[in-house]
Amino acid sequence: MIILKSADLSRRRFTNIVVPVCEKKSITAEARLAALVDDALSLPEFEGKADDALVRYSTGGIKAERLIFLGLGKVKQVEEDDLRRMAAKGVRRALELGQPKVAIVMPDIETLKIDRERQVTAVIEGALMANHLFHRYRGKKERKVKPLSAIEVLIARNEVNRLRPVADKAVAVVSGSLLARDWVSTPPMDKVPEKFAGMVEKRLEEVGVSVEVKDHKELAQMKFGALLGVAMGSDSPARMVVADYHPEGATKTVVLVGKGVTYDSGGLNLKPADGLKGMKSDMAGAAAVAGTLYNVGQLQPDVRVVGIMPLVENMPSGRALRVGDVLKSVSGKTIEVGNTDAEGRLILADSLAWANKTYKPDLMIDLATLTGACMVALGQDMAGVFTVDDKLSKAITRSSERVHERCWPLPMPEDYKAHLKSDVADIANVAGHRWGGASTAALFLSEFVGKTRWAHIDIAGPAFTQKDSLCIRPGGTGFGVRLLCDLLFGEESSLTL
């Protein structure tokens, strides 16, 4: 649906052309278009400032129904995310106008400091993300609002061949992100562990990634005592999806683990009414891992990538886990349950320990909507990164800046482990107090990863949103997919692996 085309505006007829403009400055190479930009800039209502927009219907010598001029702000200050947002805005304008198609003009190659490949990637990402609607659960009328059927990105003729693989990669990476969004937005009744496992399996097999779904019996044989403890209260039995992309000759193995609580009621430590809202998103870690594996299947990197997605529903019932119960994890360690709402770390403990033992990875990363405390620390738009490996922490932060899925490092102080002491078991799943909750959760996980190079990313804040921003509509955000793809297969991946 994304098409890279040469920007030969004189030859063809267009419906809508989106033209980025900097503050008081045209950044387009096409002479005819540049004249129209100057014309637009002469109007008092359009200066090319960030967020300025102007739709014009007299299009000079260019055969287009309308031109949508979008401001990018000062030319020296334009960043990748401004391009992403510009493209998203262009698509949204076209959607509002009930249009089926849009063409977006790339800035002239000489004008911005940003690397050309990254410019094209950003525009494609912004356009595709803005064009994504989650309408599956709406009535007929709403469903009539259709996403655009074609988005053209107009570049110079001599760039087309060179940038085509870049565009293909960008399209692939966004596809996994959008899959993750839909899964997170899906109502919890429609994604209980068995169903969600089936959905992931179907999509990953489409791209040639082998998938095995472990059921309750197998998980019991594998001694997943902590995970099965969480699943006790639900009528929907647990599953674990193991996705394995294993190219011939791979010398490195990466394991990605994603928290997959398809609904987190808190269990017997039932959440208050407000706390229950949005808890369908508690499987966003698993969704991000699945989305990443979907991209891996398309991108075909030369490393082995294993995705582990433990899936449970955390419910209160007569069979539910109690406060005071002691569970035995895969690692052999016993865990006293101090709070049934700290269930994510229980299912991750088994999964991390098992994956570590089974695959002996070079790198292990988990993504989890793990703690409200992380949201208190960093707000809704940033994830917390926990690792004792500084190089890995920096690589994650740099990737996060590039893809604009923001992350910030948080500490794992050794001495805080003392807070997780239990009187009866090897460790407790919660500290005796709530202070530093994101850090104590990370420290708990660290007990199950051995000496493997590992990072934990707490995505409780950014996994789900109620606000409508240009690239992201309310619902699942797909947070983590573009981040992991950049980290593992982006320009600096050699530093990570």
Look at residue 409 and give the partner it binds from ligand BES, Zn ion, none, a contact being a CB closer than 5 to 8 Å depending on partner kind: none
Tokens 């990669």 belong to residue = 169
Cβ at position 428, least distance to ligand BES in Å = 10
Contact 240, 230 (CB under 8 A): no
Scanning 8-16, 159-167, 187-195, 256-264 for contacts with Zn ion by CB under 5 A, the matching segment is: 256-264
Q: Supply the minimum distance, in Å, between the C-beta of residue 238 and ligand BES.
A: 16
- Does the annotation count 345 as an active-site position? yes
- By CB under 6 A, tell whether 371 contacts ligand BES: yes
Contact partner at residue 330 from ligand BES, Zn ion, none, CB < 5 to 8 Å by partner kind? none
Beta strands in 295-382 (DSSP E): 304-314, 326-328, 334-336, 363-368
* Catalytic residue list contains 394: no
CA dist., res. 218 & res. 346, Å (int): 18
Cα–Cα distance for residue pair 363/454, rounded to 1 Å: 6
Q: How many CB atoms lie within 10 A of CB 357?
A: 11
Grouping H, G, I as helix, E, B as strand and the rest as coil, residue 465 is strand
Q: Does 311 bind ligand BES (CB under 6 A)?
A: no
Sign of torsion over alpha carbons 386, 389, 391, 392: negative
Decide which of Zn ion, ligand BES, none touches 460; Cβ closer than 5 to 8 Å per partner kind: ligand BES
Pick 282 or 458: Cβ nearer Zn ion: 282
Task: Catalytic residue, from 239, 280, 345, 482: name it.
Answer: 345
Per the residue annotation, which of 63, 101, 252, 271 is the catalytic one? 271
Closest distance to ligand BES from the beta carbon of 378 (Å): 12
Using CB positions, name the residue nearest to ligand BES: 372
Interface mask (CB under 6 A) for ligand BES, residues 319-348, using x and -? --------------------x-xxxx----
User: Should residue 298 be labelled a site residue for ligand BES when binding is judged by CB under 6 A?
Assistant: no
**CA trace torsion 227, 230, 235, 237 (10° rounding):** 0
**Cα angle at 470 between 180 and 103, to 5 degrees?**
100
Binding residues for ligand BES, total number by CB under 6 A: 16
Residue 137: how many other CB atoms lie within 10 Å: 11
* Structure-token pair, residue 469: 């921003």
Give the CA angle between residues 344, 350, 352 to the nearest 5°. 90
Task: Tell which positions 456-485 bind ligand BES, by CB under 6 A.
Answer: 460
Choosing from 261, 293, 378, 383, the residue that interacts with Zn ion (CB under 5 A) is: 261
> Interface with ligand BES includes 437 (CB under 6 A)?
yes
Residues that bind Zn ion (rule: CB under 5 A) add up to a total of 6
Nearest distance from C-beta of residue 282 to ligand BES, angstroms:
5
Measuring CA to CA, which residue among 335, 346, 322 is closest to residue 427?
Answer: 335
- 332 contacts: CB under 8 Å, gap ≥ 6: none
Subset of 230-269 contacting ligand BES (CB under 6 A): 264
Q: How far is CA 275 from the centre of its chain?
A: 22
Alpha helical stretches, state H, 63-148: 80-96, 116-130, 140-143
State the residues that interact with Zn ion by CB under 5 A.
261, 264, 282, 341, 343-344
State the residues that interact with ligand BES by CB under 6 A.
264, 282, 339, 341-344, 369-373, 375, 430, 437, 460
